[in-house]
């Protein structure tokens, strides 16, 4: 890949700069989305949520920490069921807790997971969880943090994880 192509690709990414996570907006000026200490706090909360996972069948524990726009954190863990279909993911648990308490505006989510709660790889949200995120979040600005530790994580916007996603705006007459 040429340096010109690499630079163009880097201009599209969310990256860390001077302790802040930034994204290039349409004017190519950085806009602050989330402070790094907030990102690390969310990762710690997600890791802490692993201990509440109920996973007697797969042993794959997942924890999530969801940040509202008013900076409240809702934790979630995965909860398995013997018939599998009613199993609930950590991400949806966090969203449903928040929505059940009247929260509907969200800024970011951190997700961690691994067999027996050992974080050896990044744990990406399933398609159903991504669809729940589309229901309540702006895909261009909602941040998804996939972490192995506080110091080892990837950051995406929801739009990067579900391009051409279907959400409430698809059902309105004003497009």
| CA 155 from centroid of its chain's CA atoms | 8
Q: What is the pLDDT of residues 23-70, one digit of tens each?
A: 545 444 345 578 889 999 999 999 999 999 999 999 999 999 999 999
What's the confidence (pLDDT) of residue 36?
87
* Residue whose C-alpha is closest to residue 46's, from 81, 101, 3, 93: 93
Domains detected in the chain = 36-168 (3.40.140.10)
Percent of the chain with pLDDT strictly greater than 70: 80
d(CA 6, CA 49): 37
**pLDDT band at residue 75 under the 50/70/90 scheme:** very high
Selected residue with higher pLDDT from 60 and 5: 60
* Rounded Cα gap, residues 57 and 40, in angstroms: 30
Confidence grade of residue 152 (pLDDT, cut at 50, 70, 90): very high
45 in active site = no
- Other beta carbons less than 10 A from residue 3's beta carbon: 7
What are the residues whose beta carbons fall under 8 Å from the beta carbon of 2, sequence distance 6 or more? none
pLDDT of residue 31: 54
> Which one from 36, 91, 159, 160 is the annotated catalytic residue?
91
pLDDT at 16 over 90: no
Q: For 79-121, what is each residue's pLDDT tens digit?
A: 999 998 999 999 999 999 999 999 999 999 999 999 999 999 9
What confidence score (pLDDT) does residue 29 get?
A: 39
Structure confidence at residue 172 (pLDDT):
84
Supply the DSSP symbol for 22. E
- Work out the average pLDDT over 146-150: 96
Entry pTM: 0.83
């Amino acid at each position: 890949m040429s340096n010109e192509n690499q630079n163009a690709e880097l201009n599209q990414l969310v990256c860390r700069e001077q302790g802040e996570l930034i994204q290039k907006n349409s004017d190519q000026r950085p806009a602050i989305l989330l402070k790094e200490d907030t990102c690390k706090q969310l990762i710690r909360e997600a890791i802490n949520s692993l201990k509440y996972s109920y996973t007697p069948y797969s042993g794959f524990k997942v924890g999530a920490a969801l940040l509202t726009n008013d900076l409240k954190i809702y934790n979630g863990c995965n909860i398995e069921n013997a018939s599998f279909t009613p199993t609930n993911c950590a991400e949806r648990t966090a969203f449903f807790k928040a929505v059940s308490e009247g929260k509907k505006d969200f800024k970011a989510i951190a997700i961690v997971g691994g067999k027996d709660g050992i974080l050896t790889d990044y744990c990406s949200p399933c398609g159903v969880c991504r669809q729940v995120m589309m229901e309540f979040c702006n895909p261009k600005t909602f941040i998804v943090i996939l972490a192995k530790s506080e110091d080892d994580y990837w950051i995406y916007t929801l739009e990067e994880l579900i391009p051409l996603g279907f959400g409430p705006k698809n059902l309105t007459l004003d497009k």
